[in-house]
Copies of this chain bind each other. A is one copy, B any other.
Amino acid sequence: MSERLVWQDVETARERIEPFARRTPVETCRTIDATCGGTVFLKCENFQRTGSFKFRGATNAIASLSPSERARGVYAPSSGNHAQAVALAAKLHGIPAHLVMPEDSNPAKVAATRGYGARIVFCPATHEGRREMAARVGEETGATLVHSHDDVRVIAGQGTATWELIDDVGKLDLVLAPVGGGGLLSGTLIAARHLLPHVRVIGCEPEGADDAARSLRTGVRVTDFVPRTIADGLRTPLGENGFAILRRDLDDIVLVSEREIVDAMRFVWERAKLVIEPSSAVAVAPLLVGKVDVRGKRVGVILSGGNVDFAPYFAALDGQAHGPRSA
């Protein structure tokens, strides 16, 4: 049972988030174009505040709260980008935020979330433990849940990225976005279809977390699976609202292997000089390996985020001597 979501919700979201979110740039890369034969426009949500598109949806949800809801604050379970997004959006609105994070969360992400002034409540690193702790925090605080991907205000907020992209570059033949919980892809679909009725929208998903592909194939939403992918933003099961929107409108889902994800991430780092996280690479990989034919086409790709932990790289570097070598 999904709530109805329409283009006007994206318009409202854009007005709401404009004072807070960054209008991110669109980048191009000659080597990517040469590799796939199309003209590719990279919507750089890795440059968004908190390092991912999640800030758009969180801001839209929080900006739409009533005064009494604001007073009680918001809560959300998340170990990743959504936690940081909710924390900063809440801070900018001057309201309390309670983030329920698994105890094995990346310390850098916990520190960033806390750095925005949010309260962190740790929970066991299981679906069950997370659900229980989130329910308890909701009850105790009376705060409003900001769901990471199934809240319609969140989905509408994510759609604003595609709107900006099309504003900047004009007509596109295809738009590619990664799919995890489905919030970004649903928002992308609503915005792209409204602005460009003939555009093809393609979801990109890891083989190791292919619940959206299976859900759309069978018509029954798959929620019980163990994700095995480096793309940590895409391990979440597809939400109800996202499922309804994708079923109605999505053109296709393309699956990519772990090898393809890592190779695409490396390609974008080394050739496009953009720091993107594995979840973003999932939407680039199909172009690089030819799983989507974009020859002669204008293609938009939503680079969803850039939150990479470089600690291992720098730990290794610190162990090295920096010998002299002329350039």
Q: How far is the CA of A78 from the CA of B227 in the complex (A)?
A: 47
Distance in Å from the Cβ of A113 to the closest Cβ of chain B? 13
Q: Is B104 a contact partner of A325 (Cβ separation < 8 A)?
A: yes
Q: Is the CB of B322 within 8 A of A235?
A: no
Interface string of A227-242 (1 = CB under 8 A from B): 1111011111000000
Interface segment out of the listed A61-69, A211-219, A246-254, A313-321: A313-321
Contact status A325-B275, CB under 8 Å = no
A324 in the interface (beta carbon within 8 A): yes
Interface residue tally on A, bucketed by range: 35 or more
Question: Which B residues are in CB contact (< 8 Å) with A46?
Answer: 273
* Interface-side segment among A79-87, A157-165, A167-175, A184-192: A79-87
Q: Does A327 contact B78, Cβ atoms closer than 8 Å? A: yes
Query: Which of the 9-residue segments A1-9, A196-204, A286-294, A304-312 touches chain B?
Result: A304-312
21 pairs from A and B in contact (CB 8 Å cutoff) = A30-B49, A46-B273, A47-B272, A79-B327, A80-B327, A81-B327, A82-B327, A102-B325, A208-B322, A228-B322, A228-B324, A230-B322, A236-B327, A262-B314, A262-B318, A269-B308, A270-B308, A275-B275, A310-B313, A312-B316, A313-B316
Besides A25-B27, A269-B308, A274-B275, 14 other A-B contacts (C-beta < 8 A): A46-B273, A79-B325, A81-B327, A227-B324, A228-B322, A232-B327, A233-B327, A235-B325, A235-B327, A236-B326, A269-B310, A273-B275, A273-B276, A275-B275
